[in-house]
Amino acid sequence: MTRDRPSDEREVLTVAYFFPPLGGVSVPRMTAFVRHLPESGWRPTVIAPRGAAYTLQDPAGVASLPPDLEVIRALSPEPHAIRRGVEPLLRPLANARVRLMPKGALEASEDQASSVVSGSYGGRLSRLRRRIFFPDDQIGWVPFASAAGIAHARRRRPDVIYSTAFPISGHLVAGAIHRATGIPWVAEFRDPWVDNPIAPPLRGTQRTLQRRIERGIVNRAARTVLVTPGLAAMFAARYPGHADRMRIIMNGYDPTELGSVRPDVAQSDDFIRLVYTGTLDRPREAAAFLGGIERFAAGRPEVHARLRVELIGQRSPEFESVARPFSAKDRLGEVLSFTDFMPRSEALSQVAGATAALVMMGAGPGMGLFVSGKLFDYIGLDRPVFAMVPPGDVRSVLEGLDWGIIADPEPASVANGFERLWSGTYRRGRADPDGRFDRRNLTRDLAAVLDEAADAE
């Protein structure tokens, strides 16, 4: 049965695990899309989790959703609920191992720092969890979300199914609805899955299944959306027969949301305040970035008095084991501060009141593929960006806008970047005057892809 609706309006059934009240950097993309798609003639309905155990929660995000948006909440049984209870018990074991490591080892390499946890019971439990819950922790959501989506699709007959990953389980849900109904499907990858350089590698049967699942998604989807040029190039090389069905829709900022953000404190000439918001989980980045600050501040008491670096977000034990020693009084104690995860509205206020905002990405194969969504929040707030990143898509974005300070992920380059920040030799004003990363414009691009998929079938 088809729902009564205007003749010029189409409906998209969207499968999105990361959706309010969940928090984190993946959520704003989808909330902006569902706000703005009706402007392009598409009415979204969203399948999201119920009872998700994901750590970051931001209930205030629900208030940002359109009041007439239909959200179908499907049960999502996950191992995170157990993990939340176990991890506080394991953290002291990891910290004890940190204290036993040789002096200087924490700053030497990511491999040494990562061994703090990978060899612990937490690491063993994590490896066991990955074997059981494949392709990801949200696999328990698949049967419930699939059943709800199939029932909705048969009742309302949407024009297109649109799913976004991570988690890959979202694509399994959309694929099940597509197979049951024949409705065309648009599949979006926000990050690489096969050969993801920051994910634990899979082996044996799981790696074979991983490749087979990804190939099946690309084969069945009417269109595949990638969020960076680098990721699009990777997929086009891997699946050349489907390259003509791939589209790039980058992350962006939403002026509707950012226009109401007010700084937490007024900017002051007395301090240079650098703010980071987001997950902190890669120790090599901590060693390179904080080592660069220490090099820049060495022998300069005025830096210790006037520079403030605030790292806001959830921190992994590996990151913390490397970063915490830098906060000693005889190192960066006056400069460096850590704050736990805070709701998005509060985090944006912190950024709006900063002299500059920080993006950190370490070196290594494939790291240039990643472009964090928070980069675009910084751009949308017109905050200068200090980017410690390898060559890749983040640099391309900033260089294309002639915006920000770029440093290589190693201490000497970071120290040179702080010289520019300290002296104020960087562009100010409007970061994106042409609105190329305005999510209203990007949503129109998504609507065009949905049109292509609907009309191609």
Reported as a single tens digit per residue, the pLDDT across 215-231 is 999 999 999 999 999 99
User: Are 403 and 385 contacting, i.e. CB atoms less than 8 angstroms apart?
Assistant: yes
20 pLDDT exceeds 90? yes
| The CATH number of domain 10-76+135-252+438-456, selected from 1.10.940.10, 3.40.50.2000, 1.50.10.150, 3.40.1350.10 | 3.40.50.2000
User: Are 323 and 311 contacting, i.e. CB atoms less than 8 angstroms apart?
Assistant: yes
Q: What is the mean pLDDT of residues 125-142?
A: 78
Q: What is the mean pLDDT of residues 43-61?
A: 92
Residues of the chain with CATH 3.40.50.2000: 10-76+135-252+438-456, 256-423
Q: Considering the entire predicted model, what is its pTM?
A: 0.84
Joined together, the tokens standing for residue 273 give: 């305040």
Confidence band (pLDDT; 50, 70, 90) for 131? low
With 0-12 / 13-18 / 19 or more C-beta atoms within 10 angstroms meaning exposed / middle / buried, residue 103 is exposed
The type of residue at 106 is L
Percent of the chain whose predicted confidence (pLDDT) is above 90: 72
Query: For the segment 245-273, what is each residue's pLDDT rounded down to a tens digit?
Result: 999 999 999 998 898 899 877 666 788 99
With 0-12 / 13-18 / 19 or more C-beta atoms within 10 angstroms meaning exposed / middle / buried, residue 201 is exposed
Confidence band (pLDDT; 50, 70, 90) for 200? confident
Distance of CA 281 to the CA centre of its chain: 12
Please name the CATH architecture into which domain 256-423 falls: 3-Layer(aba) Sandwich (3.40)
The residue among 336 and 103 whose pLDDT is bigger is 336
> Tokens 């900063």 map to which residue?
354
370 pLDDT exceeds 80? yes
User: Which residue(s) pair with 332 in the sheet?
Assistant: none
Q: What is the predicted pLDDT for the residue at 430?
A: 95
* CA torsion through residues 177, 180, 181, 186, sign: positive
HSE-up of residue 141 (Cα within 13 Å, Cβ side): 32
The residue among 92 and 49 whose pLDDT is bigger is 49
The residue among 177 and 60 whose pLDDT is bigger is 177
